[in-house]
A and B are shown apart, each in its own frame.
Chain A
C-alpha cells in the first residue's frame, strides 16, 4: 500500500498507535499518536502508565496479555481534554504484536463525533428527568400552599361570620332599646312587649314555623309599636277617648314604625317592618293601615295581632281592669274569622295554658 493511500485511510478512520516494550515502556515512534493526545513527543521511552494512565490497575491483565492468555484489553469511551476546552473521546485497545522488541501495541481510535452526539442525548434525557422532578416538587409546594390558603379562607369566613353575628346582636340590642324607649312613653306597661313576643313564639311554634322564623318573630315582635315614638304625648297619653282626627294620627304609629325600620334588608329588619306595619290588620280586612285581609296579611303580623290583643285584654290599663283569662280567651275565640286568622285562633286555644302561665311568670310589677 502506498504511503499516501495509507495515510489517507488513517486520517479518515483516525486510528493511532504506538509501540510498547516488555518493560512496559512506550516508545515514541509515531508522531500523530502524540499529536492527537497533544503531548510533546518524548526523547526517550516513558513508562506506559505515565502516558496512558487509564491503564493503571490493569497490571494483572497486562501480564496475562504478555503471556498470551488474553487477546486484548479494551477501555471504551475515554474522555480527555486534549486542549483547553476541547474534549476528545477515544476507545483504547492494548494488543499483542509479533515483534520481539515490541511485544505490545497501544491503539487509540478517535470517537469524538459519535460520542459527542451521544453525550447530547444523555444530557437532554437527564435534564428532562431533573426538570420533571423539579416540576413535581413545585406542584407539591403549590398544593401545600393551596391547602394553607384554603384553611386561611375558612378561618376568614369564620371570622366574618362571627363579626356578622356580633353586628347582628348589636343591632338587635339597639332595636330592643328603641322599643324600650317607646315603651316608656306608652301607657302599655313594661312587660307587655316581653309577654307579647313570647306569646308570638308559642303560636309560631304551634303552627309549625321554623326555629329561625320563631327567632325572627320574637325579636321583630318587640318592635311592633316602635312607631309610637313619633306620636305626640297629647295623643299618646290622653286619658279620655280620642277624637277621630287624633285617632287618625294614632293609627300612624304602624306606618311610622315601619319607616323607622326601613333602609336595611336583613331578615330581622324586614320582619320588624312587616310586624310594625301590619299588626293592626284584621282577617276580614277591616283593620289598618292598609285594610288588607286573609293571607295577604303576613303570617308574622297575623300572629302578632292575636298576641298583642290577648295581652292587652288580660293586663290592667289606665282605662280598664285586667280581664279574667277565660273571658279574654273566649273573646279571642269569638274573633276567629273576623279579627283573627282561624288557624291561629285554633293554635292559640291549644297553647292557652302556656299563654296563661307566661302571663303569670311575667306579671307587671305593681303599678
Chain B
C-alpha cells in the first residue's frame, strides 16, 4: 500500500544475531558512515531512505523505512509488532561466526511467521575479515544448502562498503514485485 502520490513506502526489517552488523549496514546505506565501536541496539530504530528504481521500464520512487531491530536474548525479544506489516527483510550473519549463519534459518522462520512470504535477502557480512579461500568455502556451503540456495545472498562489508547498495536495491525490487504479485 502506498501513501502519497506515486511513492511507495516500504518497511524493511533487519534481523539477525547480535553484533552481526545490522546497525552498521543501515548506517552505511542511509548515512554512509561506519564505526568500529559496537553499540548494542535496544528496541527499534527506523531510518528513512529515498531511492529511485526502474522496474519494467517504469521509474518508481520508493521510500525505504529500515527497521533496525535489537537482537534477541534474555533481556529482550524481537517483538511481533516490529515484524508485522513488513514488505521485506534483510537477514544478517557474521561470516566470522559460523553459528550466526546457522541461526539465519531461525530468523527466516520467525520473519515468515509474522510477515508471510515476503521478500528476504541474506547478508553475509564482514567479508573484509576473511580471506579468499574462506570466502570460496562459504560460498560453496551456501550454494549447497537446501534453504539458503533458494535465496538471494549478498556477501557484504559495511566497513568497506561492499555490496551494500546492491543488497538493499535488490530487496526493494523484490518486495515491490511480491507486493504487486
Contact = CB atoms under 8 A, between A and B. Distances in A.
Nearest to B83: A57
A112 to B, nearest CB: 11
A125 B43 contact: no
A47 B19 contact: no
Interface in B72-95: 73-76, 79, 81-82, 84-87
Interface string A47-61: 101000110111111
B42 interface: yes
B97 A133 contact: yes
Interface stretch (B1-9, B119-127, B149-157, B158-166): B1-9
A127 B18 CA distance: 10
Contacts of B40: 119, 122-123, 126
Given A49-B9, A57-B85, A57-B87, A125 B73 contact: yes
A77 B46 contact: no
A133 B11 CA distance: 34
A159 interface: no
B144 interface: no
Given A89-B42, A89-B43, A47 B3 contact: yes
Contacts of A118: 42, 75-76
A66 interface: no
A80 interface: yes
A330 interface: no
B178 to A, nearest CB: 14
Nearest to A59: B1
Contact of B75 (A53, A78, A125): A125
A77 B65 contact: no
Contacts of A76: 43, 79, 81
A57 B19 CA distance: 26
A149 interface: no
A145 interface: no
Contacts, number: 85
B132 interface: no
B11 A56 contact: yes
Contact of B85 (A61, A78, A125, A127): A61
A130 B73 contact: no
Interface in A26-56: 47, 49, 53-54, 56
Contacts of B9: 49, 56-57
Interface in A296-323: none
Interface residues of B, number: 32
Interface majority SS (helix, strand, loop, mixed), chain A: helix
Interface string A329-344: 0000000000000000
A265 B162 CA distance: 69
Contacts of B41: 79
A74 interface: yes
A129 interface: yes
A75 interface: yes
B105 interface: no
B48 A53 contact: yes
A121 interface: yes
Interface in B45-87: 45-46, 48, 65, 70-71, 73-76, 79, 81-82, 84-87
A123 B9 CA distance: 32
B75 A79 contact: no
B38 A127 contact: yes
A285 to B, nearest CB: 80
Given A56-B65, A59-B1, A80-B45, 20 more contacts: A49-B9, A54-B46, A56-B9, A56-B85, A57-B11, A57-B65, A58-B84, A61-B84, A74-B81, A76-B43, A76-B79, A76-B81, A77-B70, A78-B45, A81-B45, A118-B75, A123-B39, A126-B18, A129-B18, A130-B38
Nearest first, the 7 closest Cβ-Cβ pairs linking A and B are: A77-B43, A57-B85, A57-B11, A119-B42, A79-B45, A123-B40, A122-B40
Interface of A: 47, 49, 53-54, 56-61, 74-81, 89, 115, 118-119, 121-123, 125-127, 129-130, 133
14 contacts: A53-B65, A56-B9, A56-B65, A56-B85, A57-B65, A59-B85, A77-B42, A78-B46, A118-B75, A119-B42, A122-B40, A122-B76, A123-B40, A126-B38
